[in-house]
Structure 1
């Protein structure tokens, strides 16, 4: 996701799960399937899975994989650790404190530029949830529709929107940027015509308030940046045993996400009642969020190549998008597609 994602989600955490979210996020271990002592004695390999965000439905596929025993069946004793606004995933993976983590593609690319030995081996969100939201009674459906209009945008998102408009043949100066925070009240009050948001957050907030809104994804207009990417250390990829362990973990994760896409309600139940129980998550909000996530995860491409897939075209789109905001990298430097190739063996499901 764009670099504003952590700032945005920190400020809007209550939208997604109730007032206790931020207070409960730091260092709390999510529930894990099975008894750790039994798993170790049975010869399972212990691995730490570091989530990129809180233990809510954004991670429902991983929760299902754990609860259904998919990790255990792959010979893994998996400890799932939630993230939060103060958690940096990359350093935990690079240092070996986490075996695998979920992070944004651009964050990993920047970390590699600074010498972090990290690689991306899979991508959960094939479509970035960054979106432009407008009221249904005055809809804005395309970047071109914003010419001459007022766009509420956070200061940290201006660079992204400048690049986005240029990529779509729109002069950024033809759109009036109005400084906003993260509350969509300026849109509701008519102070702006559109609002920079995330499809999985602020539109849901307004829907819960009975306000009809609509949004278009930046991803549908060339903003190709995957989110919740699986990041591992180069050492893991180079070590034969660790690599085999990683293939097992990715296979179990794919199975969990296959189930979550088919039955989001199952993921909601696990998030609310088990893995995120201490966060006092709201079931209705979590279900709306889960339903918004599904089409971002399950796309025509994943139906052909499998969930978490990283196609050549997708990788090139990510590289192009990052280049538009000054992040230069290459497919060979940042991505490793061989793990998923071993997982799927030429088939779209596992």
Structure 2
């Protein structure tokens, strides 16, 4: 009888595992604490509790937009400027949840350079990232009336943009005067290069009216319109709501239990754990990163009990900024953001 019960339980578990809906979520970078909430949701079984078997895909220095638009992934994380410019190019990608409620993008210079504010950037070399990640820097410079070498139509640009593959050690401080840095990643990498916080000036672009929100969750219109996602009997919209609900649960847990979250991330992040060739202590870097991304999550709508919500004012502010700067030619269609997924995931109403 005991053997029969055991066999029944094992078969039941196997059947349950087989009934999980396979979902591919494309992350914007390599595994690290930037995505802690997703890894926690996976480790704690929050996705399985929603009937999902979620595969978290790393991508490196490419845009997740393409993998989702082509169907290689079902969902992804990216920055709002990437999503809106992709929409402008005709790619039917849709915003479904806003994870970070505040921008973590900065520009870093040595204190000895006397570069303290955007007005000091004229005539300087500014390190920017490729694949749409240059937009915050471009937006800041355009706001202050400066042209860059990224615009081929400008004969004598005010700023020389130096594109490089994310590792600040490649260009800073010898090849650029100012380097792009996220508060949660490259700032600590620069510290690890021997330039402590007392030796650098950090220009937070959000302090100067460029608060282009970063890590959000998105999918394609095709996925949302699917009536029977992967033969699961669930619609694409239902799967999206389950994914968002479990992910927000993971983020809430990660922010409240940061040490445990770091322990979950560390076995997954490999060489990325240390940052790009800087700190020898992987735990120290991921702890820094977890602390800083928690600040970006615990802001705005999250503080109002509405985690994952894209506040209309913040969205319209981003659209207006990008239109004023000529990065967007027209306002995105209403379908660029689908609040119904967030409403279904949280049981709350969008304003």
Q: What range is the shorter-chain TM-score in?
A: 0.7 to 0.9
Secondary structure of residue in 1 paired with 2:60? coil
Please give the secondary structure, in 2, of the residue aligned with 1:112: helix
Q: Of 148, 151, 159, which aligns to 1:177?
A: 159
Is the contact between residue 40 and residue 46 of structure 1 (CA under 8 Å) also seen in structure 2?
Answer: no
Which residue pairs with 1:68 in the alignment? 44
Please identify, of 55-64 and 320-329, the stretch whose mean Cα deviation from structure 2 is larger: 320-329
1:326 is aligned to 327
* Aligned counterpart for 1:220 among listed residues 194, 207, 210: 207
How many residue pairs align between the two structures?
Answer: 307
Superposed CA deviations along residues 203-252 of structure 1, whole A, max 9, x for unmatched, are 21232244323423212322132222211121332345221121111000
- Aligned match for 2:220, one of 222, 233, 249: 233
User: Larger deviation: 175-184 or 203-212?
Assistant: 175-184
2:246 is the alignment partner of 1:252: yes
Structure 2 residues not aligned, in runs of 5+: 1-12, 148-156, 228-234, 275-281
Inter-partner Cα distance in structure 1 for 2:177 and 2:269: 36
- Residues 240-271 of structure 1 show CA distances to partners (whole Å, capped at 9, x for unaligned) of 52211211110000011111222222222112
2:159 aligns to what SS in structure 1?
strand
> Among 176, 179, 182, which residue is 1:198 paired with?
182
From the superposition, tell whether residues 318 and 38 of structure 1 become closer, same or farther in structure 2 (CA, over 3 Å). farther
Shift in alpha-carbon separation, 1:185–1:80, aligned structure 2, 3 A: closer
**Residue 120 (structure 1) aligned to one of 68, 86, 95:** 95
State whether residues 45 and 76 of structure 1, in contact with CA within 8 Å, keep that contact through their aligned partners in structure 2: yes
Q: What root-mean-square deviation, in Å, do the aligned CA atoms of Structure 1 and Structure 2 show?
A: 3.4
The structure-2 alpha-carbon separation of the partners of 1:267 and 1:233, relative to structure 1 and needing over 3 Å to count, comes to same
Compute the displacement of 1:154 (Å): 4.0
Q: Is the 8 A contact 1:56 1:286 kept in 2?
A: yes
SS at 2:215 equivalent:
strand
Partner Cα separation in structure 2 for residue 121 and residue 178 of structure 1: 36
Preserved contact between residue 199 and residue 215 of structure 1 (Cα < 8 Å): no
Q: Distance in 1 between matches of 2:218 and 2:36?
A: 18
The verdict on how the C-alpha distance between 1:72 and 1:322 changes in structure 2, with shifts beyond 3 A counting, is: same
Distance in structure 1 (CA, Å) of the matches to 2:45 and 2:181: 36
The Cα shift of 1:292 comes to: 2.1
TM-score by length of 1: 0.74
After superposition, the Cα gap between the structure-2 partners of 1:325 and 1:294, relative to the gap in structure 1 and judged at 3 Å, is farther
Secondary structure, counterpart of 1:78 in structure 2? strand
Distance 1:184 1:44, change over 3 A: closer
Residue 302 (structure 1) shift? 1.8
SS at 1:296's partner residue? helix
1:131 match: 106
- Bigger mean CA deviation after superposition, 207-216 or 55-64: 207-216
Q: Which has the larger radius of gyration?
A: 2
Matches of 1:284 and 1:49, distance apart in 2: 27
**TM-score normalised to the size of structure 2?**
0.74
SS in 1 for 2:203: strand
Q: Tell me, what secondary structure is at the counterpart of 1:276?
A: helix
Partner Cα distance (1:83, 1:202) in 2: 18
Which residue of structure 1 aligns with residue 3 of structure 2? none
Contact 2:75 2:218 in 1 (8 A): yes
The separation in 1 between residues aligned to 2:320 and 2:307, in whole angstroms, is: 22
Instruction: Give the direction of change, closer, same or farther, for the CA distance of 1:196–1:56 in structure 2 (3 Å limit).
Output: closer
Instruction: Tell me by how many angstroms 1:277 deviates.
Output: 4.3
Q: 1:270 to 1:242 in 2, by over 3 A?
A: same
Q: Deviations over 1:28-85 (max 9, x none)?
A: xxxxxxxx955443x2222112212111111111000010111111111212222223
Q: 2:126 aligns with which of 143, 149, 152?
A: 152
Taking structure 1 as reference, are residues 217 and 329 closer, same or farther at Cα in structure 2, changes over 3 Å only? same
When structure 1 is superposed on structure 2, of 132-141 and 104-113 the one drifting more is 132-141
